[in-house]
Amino acid sequence: MQESAYRAPKSRIVDQFGDAINFTTSWGEGIIDMSTEAIDYSIERVRGKMSHIDVSVNSFSIIPETSGVIKVRLENMKEGEIYTVTAAQVTAYIGKPLPKRIIEVYKTDTTATFSVEV
């Protein structure tokens, strides 16, 4: 009997502009409050927690849990560059994956809480 390879659940997200984004979830982390974190939340932290899954992870998605602002570095941005997810964007996506691929969430000036999906 041949073992089947793990296949993560796949879904498609449609953003507020009607653009479809393919999304696969293979791992997640519960609510993160950056005010209680010692450092920024980075892709390296995600990779460290995903060691049981043999995948190459280059970015992650967040699900806003409470209103506020989230400061991030998006996939393909240089280190130190900041994209601000505004309070209006966060509020519009509470409980739903934000259609952006993220490499890092900055502790400084992030006031919303969020969950992580890969």
> pLDDT (tens digit, 0 to 9) for every residue of the chain, 118 residues total?
444 343 444 555 555 556 665 555 556 788 999 999 999 999 888 877 766 655 667 888 999 999 999 999 999 899 889 999 999 999 999 999 999 999 999 999 999 999 998 8
Instruction: Give the largest Cα separation in the chain, rounded.
Output: 53
| Structural contact between residues 38 and 108, judged by C-beta atoms closer than 8 angstroms | no
Question: Is residue 83 within 8 Å of 105, Cβ to Cβ?
Answer: no
User: What number of residues does the chain have?
Assistant: 118
- Give, rounded to a whole angstrom, the gap between the first and last alpha carbons of the chain: 30
Q: Quote the pLDDT of residue 5.
A: 40
Q: Tell me, what's the pLDDT at 12?
A: 55
Q: Which helix (H) or strand (E) holds 53?
A: none
Q: 41-45, long-range: CB within 8 Å, 24+ apart, which pairs? A: 41/104, 41/105, 41/107, 41/116, 42/103, 42/104, 42/105, 43/103, 43/104
pLDDT score at 114: 95
pLDDT the model gives residue 23: 53
| Cβ atoms of residues 70 and 105 within 8 Å | yes
pTM for this entry:
0.74
- What lies within 8 Å, CB to CB, of 63 at 6+ separation is 93, 95, 96, 97, 98, 114, 115, 116, 117
